[in-house]
Chain A
Amino acid sequence: MDEAVILVALLLVAGAATAAVAQRDPARQALVLSVLGVLLAVLFTVLQAPDVGLSQLAVGAVLTPLLVMLSVRKIRRRGRDRDGAR
């Protein structure tokens, strides 16, 4: 039974990683990355590493998406300003 839950978590993480690479738009990729972060936290829990799970949860759920989205926003805002000036 313990093996089954590990198997499910591993397959979900592999699927999420593939999806994160396949999304070519950074904003959509950030959405998949945040789901990947939460799935990884669950995988680490079933691998009996709650400390690592907490770390991944704190970073993957909020910090990484926030950083990526702020970068996307900066680039979009810059593009808009340029178009407006032209």
Chain B
Amino acid sequence: MDRRTTPRTVLLVVGELLAWWAALTLLWLVLISSVYPLEWIVGASVAAAGALLARAGRRAVSWR
């Protein structure tokens, strides 16, 4: 994997993170039983952690 930081790669990384974050926030909303602001905040931060892990995992596998 090339490690140059062109705008295109940055955009791709941000897109990947955002896609994971949105998907995992949706998953959180499916798991819980009632929705209220605190639940949104916790869900969004957990989804962010999940997105970072997903990105890190993919990078660790493809980066040799």
Determine direct contact between A and B, CB below 8 Å.
no
Chain B residues within CB distance 8 Å of chain A: none
Chain A residues within CB distance 8 Å of chain B: none
